[in-house]
Structure 1
Amino acid sequence: MNELLSLVADPAAWAALVTLVVMEVVLGIDNLVFISILSNRLPAEHRQKVRRIGISLALIMRLALLSTIAFIVGLTAPVFDLGIAGPLGAHGEPSFETAFSWRDLILIAGGVFLIWKATKEIHHNVDPAHEDTPTEPSKTGAVISNVGSAIFQIILLDLVFSIDSILTAVGMTDHLPIMIAAVIIAVVAMLLASDPLADFINKNPTVVMLALGFLLMIGTVLIAEGFGAHVPKGYIYTAMAFSAGVEGLNMLARKRKGG
């Protein structure tokens, strides 16, 4: 209790909390886009429920991982090394390396899954004629299967993004209460933004393709980080913001012409 009171009275703790909340929200955008795209493929009556389940699982997973911080930090220890490294960069570090930790392997697997899923969704959007349409008697079973499949895929990506999120939190503060507060605030923000974002993506087909392009880029970055190549997050999110801004201008132009 005394520790909590001292943290509440410490301006540095509040600064760390605000910074960490911002970082967690930014990291959560990737997860939220993925959940929105998956849920929009389901019948309308199931979409909100799947989004709520997916984001709730993200919160549960993050809090569970926070309770095992020592284990999570241990995931960064190398498991095996293939002995291959890239040329040294400007800071004297190799451009890539093959000393893989469990975190690296999880990031690589998550990146491959994201690229596979985004590519599959792009193919569906470009050529929807090949999508199988279930017959009337099998619709209920198909919906149950799709909901279960969507939740399972969300759990897989929640795991990847949760580990990345918690390692970011550990790197920014040593105080567990600040980490827990930041994670809860960020997930609540995701919960509030999930329906508006999903509806916006659903009503604007070109935004769907842009979001899928983001997922391809994020998947590539996850794989690169798994191989020890450091990709500054600022570059990634600046590119995403620029692309979103250009798409916003295109949408405005189409609206003006249509009006």
Structure 2
Amino acid sequence: MNTDVGDLPVAPQWFRFTVLDERTTLIEEPHVRGLLRANAWHLRGRNRDLLVDCGLGVTALAPLLLERFGREPVLVLTHAHLDHMGSAHEFSDVWAHPLEPIDDPAPGSLHGPALAAQMGLDETLPSALLTARPHGDYDLSTYRVRPATRTRALTDGDLVDLGDYALTVLHLPGHSPGSIALFDQTTGTLFSGDVIYDDVLLDSLPGSDIRQYARSLRRLRNLPVRVTQPGHGRSFGRDRLHHLIDSYLHSVRNSG
């Protein structure tokens, strides 16, 4: 497909919802190119619903969730990168670690070379980081990450209580200073954000720290994680989690 911005088609539906079980719905933006195609996770609780991350923010998400689930969820941001907090300004309750600058995020861009420069990436990114537009008059050049208001500061060990179950906040810096994951100790399910996913881990972005990243992954390896629901790509089990962690730690040792 021609990736010139003017030639992008209009997507008939921007978000894709996949129900995994009675509690968990995966929300994706299939018309976003690989680097920025992130997962958001909607978790149904007895007393409240939870949304883990919220995508790029190129079109409204909160009204769709209200229509689909009947109430607005609390939004937990695993970190403040554009592909995870783009829609955060739409939500009334936004929880994040205090080290993540959600009130003053990097502006972001949907133009590949501009974003690569912002993020300090060596790789060449496509001109348009979308394969479609959310509506006919959408202009990719106007995209900016809008600031959000943090209503609760999350720190390591905090509980996110949904009424019938709770998730534990894990502060796992490295990808960013305030990167967090959420761990359901009852089921062994980890919502990992960008701390771990099944691809090359980005540890050279502004705010990244390789030593902290390695320390965070060593900690994560010792937890009884059964399944990881990552910020990008497919879910994976314990063996794959350990392989990804061991591969990263091996590469860090060899490079140091």
Say yes or no: TM over 0.5.
no
TM category, shorter? under 0.3
So what's the TM-score if we normalise by structure 2? 0.25
Kindly indicate which of the two structures has a greater share of residues assigned to helix.
1
Q: Relative contact order, CA 8 A, sep 6+: which one is greater?
A: 1
Instruction: Pick the structure with greater CA Rg.
Output: 1
